[in-house]
Chains A and B, each alone.
Chain A
């Protein structure tokens, strides 16, 4: 049998050589599709279930649409499946007028019989909102984005006014609410498909065999190898999407770059900082860069002595030279962070004063707080690369050296990523080098998850810092819808942070994306996942 197979293949080879000589196909297959080399496997095809960028990249803007979108250039909220909306004067009731003639994907596992309507919106929101919803507990039943912002508790009720109109009522006004509906996670699923799955008793399929209204429909997925999508020919926005979209799963960043050079990928995820110049030097490749909505920081565990003393925290913040960290860790692909918000945010405070490198002052502050002969502490360095901190370990080593100058001996600690996050949430650390990538353009998305008291519980407040004054300011800010009013609250919050130093903001990193120059229309979306709907070749 073995030889037989070999014989078969030999024949195939001959056939192949002959056919290759005969005629070369006139259709250039390369024009028919786009290959994107992504960095990993998505956990499912439903971004409601996961905040990881890999999952959103593979589903949010390819398969689905949201009620609202962010304009990637201005950050403004623009209509998507909701063609218009109205906010009541008390800021509590939101009425959405839905778009008509929007068709769901038709695949071999589901053929829609009706267009998108209010039922789909109700279904999609109620799935994460109501614990007794039939689909709530499917695929683990955890909706991290919505629960970390307590959105499930903020919504009082949601009602269907008619087939194309939905009314949503909040318990208290929240000016950041609309922005949340425009994030990668607030996707619209098909109610009709869900009904079909209930009949087939196969609820799990809703997240693994997705149906949406987005520019591409799901074809198949092989773990560690590829995800295939095909054009959704009835896409409501336009008919110009490419025929095929393929995600080639390539975890190694140098291999992704190599494939980009050979043309096996048209675009790649996360080019590594040290390889950016290779992309810049080649004419056939394009490197896009944009300031990202992120912040890398060094947080102190304020629930542990001596870090419960603001003076000690201030001393530590003065002991490090941020500029040196920027040069060595980010290769100058970041700007120095003075506060939580990057320059591109509308609430960014220009006159905020940056801490300066001053070891003499640092030592003086330590002596004032009764620590004259130094102490020993841990610096936790996260084990993965992120834009906001491409090499936490290297940074930790540099900080270690700075701290030794003021008599503090530091140990560097690291665990595997999921253990690392779990132990951080337990508060086992002294200090940690980590960061935050915003999911929407609203400043609340920085201030609330990073430093409010409630965020200690949901595991995003790495400083374990709870300050009633700060909480109050952040809560006040979302009660107002005028940005001028909100800015004054955020500036006040900035002074509290500057005084208390629960964390030292280090950098706002640029976001990079490399692609082949013939690819047109791929823009960096600072508010989350990649979009291929408008890309052509």
Chain B
């Protein structure tokens, strides 16, 4: 049964990625300009060079062959060059994507740390003032436009109080070579003198972007947890547990927590797409050198190869993360698998 889940999801993953790469291939033809330039990113070629690239991309053959060559190139890491910088897109993406992932992971982590406990607490205080006030706060923070929220944070913490820097990942005075793309790892591996100062600088730069993402994500997680907890606590088996003479704490620890969290795990996975989208907006506001900022630059500079590659990378990442969390949720909680109900 586990195997079947895995196979089904792997199929889903492969076919979705295939469709995405097909779509990115078609984009090169839909964008203005020469499709070959949009695919390769090579511009102003001499006639012989053009001929060579023309053949290398199989442009003398059918569209199917061209797509096949394109797929092969994608796997080899040859995603073409950026119009704007002339640097291989794969190289640019492999530095930009980790920055976005880093930001998303931190804020997801902080959101879980805040959202889940508060969700349980509000569930306890169901229909009491504490519950109502938490719910009200969550509605407000959930409905704040993230763009505006990020700017307000800048206004308060950077411009008025002067506590936090408002752009980038670390002060530019630290020359940290970008190897992994994850700032703390790169600082750790770097050979600069004052690493502690660099860590502090990186942390300071991280606070506001994480906070603006967290305010919204934590609100969603809070609401999901609270609803689920309330549902669980009113269910038949909890009542049975009480009649068996278990104490309040025992009931909650043994039955409440696990059964509250299991059904909402896949819902968290759905949030990863929203989180990444929000992260891309936040990146733009805080000049965070992630993939969102990178894509916006690409769009404003009409860098078609970069738009194509960025679209493919971001959507692939979202698909992979969604399917992987989905699979792990199903492995932990077989009740989700559908018609194959396990006896429990």
A residues near B (Cβ < 8 Å) are: 2, 5-6, 8-10, 12-13, 15-16, 19-20, 22-25, 27, 29-30, 32-33, 35, 219, 223-226, 228, 244, 246, 248, 250, 255, 258-259, 261-264
Contact = CB atoms under 8 A, between A and B. Distances in A.
Given A20-B200, A246-B173, A258 B193 contact: no
Interface stretch (B51-59, B124-132, B164-172, B225-233): B164-172
Interface string B147-181: 00000001000110010111110011111000000
Contact of B159 (A27, A32, A226, A261): A261
A361 B201 CA distance: 65
Most chain B CB within a 10 A radius of its CB, from A13, A24, A228, A264:
A264
Closest 6 CB pairs of A and B: A12-B184, A25-B194, A25-B197, A16-B199, A223-B85, A246-B172
A264 B324 contact: no
29 contacts: A2-B321, A2-B324, A5-B101, A5-B105, A5-B182, A9-B105, A9-B184, A15-B188, A19-B196, A20-B200, A27-B197, A29-B173, A29-B174, A29-B201, A32-B173, A33-B173, A219-B175, A228-B172, A246-B172, A246-B173, A250-B167, A258-B154, A258-B166, A261-B159, A261-B162, A262-B158, A262-B166, A264-B165, A264-B166
Nearest to A37: B167
Nearest to B178: A222
Contacts of A8: 182, 185
A16 B194 contact: no
Contacts of A263: 162, 165
Given A2-B324, A223-B85, A262-B162, A20 B172 contact: no
B102 interface: yes
Interface in B103-136: 105-106, 109
Interface in B282-306: 287, 289, 297
Contacts of A219: 175
Contacts of B184: 9, 12-13, 16
Nearest to A24: B196
Contacts of B154: 258
Contact of A16 (B84, B168, B203, B324): B203
B159 A244 contact: no
B173 A20 contact: no
Contact of B172 (A25, A248, A255): A248
Contacts of A32: 173
A32 B193 CA distance: 12
Contacts of B194: 25, 27, 29
A9 B202 CA distance: 13
B172 A27 contact: no
Nearest to A262: B158
A20 B196 contact: yes
A16 B171 CA distance: 16
Given A9-B184, A27-B197, 6 more contacts: A29-B171, A35-B172, A225-B289, A228-B172, A261-B158, A261-B159
A330 to B, nearest CB: 26
A19 B101 CA distance: 24
A263 B197 CA distance: 16
Contacts of A264: 165-168, 171
Given A2-B321, A16-B199, A255 B167 contact: yes
B166 to A, nearest CB: 6
Contacts of A261: 158-159, 162
Interface string B220-240: 000000000000000000000
A51 B206 CA distance: 39
Nearest to B289: A225
Interface string B88-111: 000000000000011001100100
A33 B287 CA distance: 21
A25 B196 contact: yes
Residue from B101, B105, B185, B287 with most neighbouring chain A CB atoms (10 Å) = B287
B317 to A, nearest CB: 10
Contacts of A16: 184, 199, 203
B182 A9 contact: yes
Contacts of A2: 321, 324
A13 B200 CA distance: 11
Contacts of A6: 105, 109
Nearest to A10: B109
A248 B52 CA distance: 39
B167 A9 contact: no
B203 A20 contact: yes
A12 B186 CA distance: 11
B158 A226 contact: no
Given A2-B324, A262-B159, A12 B185 contact: yes
Contacts of A258: 154, 158-159, 166
B199 A244 contact: no
Interface in B257-292: 287, 289
A2 B164 CA distance: 29
B174 to A, nearest CB: 7
Contact of B102 (A9, A226, A262): A9
Contacts of A23: 196
A20 B287 contact: no
Contacts of B173: 29-30, 32-33, 35, 244, 246
- Which one of A223, A244, A248, A261 has the greatest number of beta carbons of chain B within 10 Å? A223
A339 to B, nearest CB: 40
A463 B267 CA distance: 66
A11 to B, nearest CB: 9
Contacts of B105: 5-6, 9
A526 B175 CA distance: 32
Nearest to A13: B184
A228 B166 contact: no
Given A225-B289, A258-B166, A262-B159, A20 B199 contact: yes
Contacts of B165: 262-264
Contacts of B287: 250, 255
A123 B172 CA distance: 35
A30 B200 CA distance: 13
Nearest to A264: B165
